[in-house]
Structure 1
Amino acid sequence: MTVPTLAVFKLASCDGCQLTLLDCEDELLALAGKVRIAHFLEASSAVAPGAYDLTLVEGSVTTPADAERVREIRARSRHLVTIGACATAGGIQALRNFADVEEFTRAVYARPDYIDVLATSTPVSDHVDVDFELRGCPIDRAQLLEVITAYLAGRKPDIPNHSVCFACKRRGTVCVTVAHGTPCLGPVTHTGCGAICPAYGRGCYGCFGPLGTPNLRALIPLLHRHGMDERAVERLLRTFNAPAFDKGVRS
């Protein structure tokens, strides 16, 4: 019987989502008995050339080399899953999309002419076909294990598609907006974090990115009523998933 192969690749990112996989510990040991980890430089220098049955990609496409590399990865992967806000939405580095990258490079680097970078930071799905996107900054460990085991079993991952508000209700958390007037992105943010922030009395800041059809046009006036001006709302939306939320505002 052929053992399925798993590969993990990194583009522009902080490595946090790969560390989530390593933090699985006991679950990872059980998983290692079911797959052959063919490429995972965060864990081992041993590398197999592929093709790979399941490939996880962390990080956004920020350079011409990234764009070429992700096309090569896609060509060697039976299934490709992007993990984390960088890979699914461009990440916090996508704040460059709203500014002048050349101005940034001139300010930061002594020799900006050595810097070969794209004007925008974009999700992997802008460049190649993606079989599944797992959101979060970082991703949730249980959701990651569900995605991996689902593909090994030949089924679709069972990842909830509701908002953070549902998670608040399930854990019995009082709505911070209704009770305290605290601005919160929970109504438009994809579930997965367990509603941690509202449970500790602060509003959700959208680290799992927007729902498939976020009603931001309805939420933004509510944020204004709770004391946020246009600039404050912009800053709230432009964090880990800035391009995705921006697209929701414009749609």
Structure 2
Amino acid sequence: MTAAIPDTSAANRLPELAVWKFASCDGCQLTLLDCEDELLGIADRLRISYFLEASSAPGPGPYDLSLVEGSITTPQDAERIQHIRAASHRLVTIGACATAGGVQALRNYADVAAYQAVVYARPDYIDTLATSTPISAHVPVDFELRGCPIDPGQLVEVITAHLAGRTPDVPAHSVCFECKRRGTVCVTVAHGTPCLGPVTHAGCGALCPAYDRGCYGCFGPSDSLNFPSFVPLLRRDGMDTLDVVRVLRTFNTGAPEFDAESRKEAER
């Protein structure tokens, strides 16, 4: 009996997924690893070809979908992301570092060379950029998934949407909508607690307000912002200029909207 020859045609090839890391804490990659049950449901519909966090046997590509975590902080990073983009049919950035430069983008407001001279005995050994920038500043990005870390449900939605050939259904409204959906009393109205919920992208499920804490802006700016009306609310709730600058310069300090407003406040 002649053995059947496997069908290796493109129509029967499983889509290949790759996961890449740049300057980051690995939290968003760990979110993917934590999606054990959800990934089992689509495991027979894709092949994880490159994911050093999970496997030491990387595939050569090309890749149908690349998930990229982390910001660009070195010349080597800037070069490597070009190769990843060229090898990827679709590229999705995951997390605040990849979408906005991360908390490490605080270097964008400082003299990096001066810090190197103070911290390192041989600063000439350090090869770094003066800024920490999102992936989209260097290559075209097909979709940005925000959060610090990202939401597991939204991550699975992005992957399944790719498999189905559709646009991911990820809400673009603010955290305030999530507070209303879960029946959480507004911490600003009820307690006068400063909260970034009105200007922050949904995705966390309004976690902090559910525990009577103001939103910290982990998911970056929402698609509809009104800082001229919002900042006076922060001041009314007890923040001074330095407080406003600090609250905008955290996980998503490099997001253009937060960056512009924090610089405006810093110049007051």
2:8 aligned residue: none
Alignment pair present for 1:73 and 2:84: yes
1:233 aligned residue: 244
Kindly state the Cα deviation for residue 149 of structure 1 after the two structures are TM-superposed. 0.3
2:179 aligned residue: 168
Distance 1:89 1:216 in 2: 19
Distance 1:93 1:169 in 2: 32
Q: Supply the RMSD in Å over aligned alpha carbons.
A: 1.2
Alignment pair present for 1:43 and 2:54: yes
Task: Tell me the secondary structure at the aligned position of residue 243 of structure 1.
Answer: coil
1:203 aligned residue: 214
Amino acid at match of 1:171: R
1:101 aligned residue: 112
- Runs (5+) with no aligned partner, structure 2: 1-11
2:74 aligned residue: 63
Are 1:86 and 1:123, in contact at CA under 8 Å, matched by a contact in 2?
yes
Task: Tell me the secondary structure at the aligned position of residue 13 of structure 2.
Answer: coil
1:83 aligned residue: 94
Alignment pair present for 1:193 and 2:207: no
Indicate the structure (1 or 2) with the bigger Cα radius of gyration: 2
Alignment pair present for 1:247 and 2:260: yes
Are 1:217 and 1:249, in contact at CA under 8 Å, matched by a contact in 2?
no
Number of residue pairs matched by the alignment = 251
Greater than 6 Å deviation, 4+ residue runs: none
Are 1:12 and 1:61, in contact at CA under 8 Å, matched by a contact in 2?
yes
Instruction: Give CA-to-partner distance per residue, 1:169-197, whole Å, 9 cap, x none.
Output: 00000100011000000000000000000
Amino acid at match of 2:260: K
Kindly state the Cα deviation for residue 66 of structure 1 after the two structures are TM-superposed. 0.5
Distance 2:262 2:181 in 1: 28
Are 1:54 and 1:81, in contact at CA under 8 Å, matched by a contact in 2?
yes
Are 1:213 and 1:248, in contact at CA under 8 Å, matched by a contact in 2?
no
Distance 2:138 2:260 in 1: 17
Amino acid at match of 1:173: T
Deviating more after overlay: 2-11 vs 204-213: 204-213
Are 2:151 and 2:203, in contact at CA under 8 Å, matched by a contact in 1?
yes
Instruction: Give CA-to-partner distance per residue, 1:203-223, whole Å, 9 cap, x none.
Output: 000000001342222211111
**TM-score normalised over the length of structure 1:** 0.98
Kindly state the Cα deviation for residue 27 of structure 1 after the two structures are TM-superposed. 1.3
Are 2:249 and 2:262, in contact at CA under 8 Å, matched by a contact in 1?
no
Distance 2:84 2:134 in 1: 14
Distance 1:208 1:218 in 2: 20
Kindly state the Cα deviation for residue 114 of structure 1 after the two structures are TM-superposed. 0.6
Match of 1:179 among 167, 190, 193: 190
Match of 1:7 among 18, 29, 36: 18
